[in-house]
Amino acid sequence: MTEIMLRVSDLNAYYGKSHVLQGVDLHVRSGEIVSLLGRNGVGRSTTVKAIMGQVEHTGEINFQNQSLSGLQSHEIARKGLGYVPENRDIFPTLTVRQNLLLGLKSDQKESRWSEEDMYDLFPRLKERLHAPAGVLSGGEQQMLTLCRTLLGNPELVMIDEPTEGLAPKIVEQMATLFEEISKRGVSILLVEQKLTIALRISQRLYVMGHGQIVFEGSPSDLQADESIRKEWLEV
């Protein structure tokens, strides 16, 4: 059995008096793509923010058999956990290349990824290399954020709503990239709304509802379970 990279047990989180996450359990294995599905507002983004140390929480989060409890976000990143937030966290006045190079860790010796890999995967970034990142389209900014994270050589990367508002062609590029990331042995925890993409590229899926996991299984399990799709996913 493949090694478990990330294990989350009994995760609870609050915003004020609102109990957002209510005992979330999930895990991601080495090289696996796992999607976290659900409607807006059910706690998917809060889950990845809590794992990354950005939301106060209780429960246990273990990454590569080490507890992440009490660590700051930058300490968690140094342990090999990458995070691509929904808000495309770029530096608009810096060039595309300057943004990319910020992903490199100061003590980094070897990496699965080179700067050239990023340009091979996304030729558009190479074309805009010396342009300020703020002039890029939403899809290009999403590519840039993802590539910057990969240059930090994470063992697992959490990606929050990467295809939101993107053109179908860019969505297709993203899906291909996720498969390439997985082939290189990097695990992915993907927060996604597009069921078709998640079903196509994931080995396993979780569905969230009201701050809890209401389903765990394979893409074929979810396709076969019409009641779960109707109750928790379909609009």
pLDDT single digits (tens) 39-68: 999 999 999 999 999 999 999 999 999 999
Residues 6+ apart with CB under 8 A from 13: 20, 21, 43, 46, 47, 50, 55, 56, 57, 58
Task: Return left, alpha or beta for 223; rule: phi > 0 is left, psi -120 to 50 is alpha, else beta.
Answer: alpha
| Region 112-122 average pLDDT | 86
CA proximity to 166, closest of 191, 140, 145, 190: 140
Q: Is the pTM of this model over 0.85?
A: yes
User: What's residue 1's pLDDT?
Assistant: 60
* Percent of the chain residues topping a pLDDT of 90: 63
199 burial level (CB within 10 Å; 0-12, 13-18, 19+): middle
CA dist 221 and 116 (Å) reads 39
Cβ atoms of 52 and 84 within 8 Å: the answer is no
pLDDT at position 37? 97
Asked if residue 105 has pLDDT above 80, the reply is no
pLDDT digits (tens, 9 = 90+) for 2-18: 799 999 999 999 888 88
pLDDT at 111 over 80: no
- Whether the CB-CB separation of 52 and 29 falls below 8 Å is answered with no
Q: What is the pLDDT of residue 99?
A: 93
Residue that wins the pLDDT comparison between 119 and 205:
205
SS3 for 70? coil
Q: What is the mean pLDDT of residues 171-175?
A: 85
* Domain of residue 45, residue span: 4-232
Measured distance CA(205)–CA(221) in Å, rounded: 9
Reported confidence tier of residue 123, pLDDT bands at 50, 70, 90: confident
pLDDT band at 107 (very low <50, low <70, confident <90, very high): low
Instruction: Report the number of secondary-structure helices (H) and strands (E) in the chain.
Output: 10, 10
- Taking the C-alpha atoms of residue 13 and residue 10, their distance in angstroms, rounded to an integer, is 10
CATH of the domain at 103: 3.40.50.300
C-alpha closest to that of 90 among 123, 139, 127? 139
| Weakest mean pLDDT among 5-9, 79-83, 168-172 | 168-172
Neighbouring-strand partners of residue 110: none
Average pLDDT over residues 63-89: 91
Number of domains the chain is built from: 1
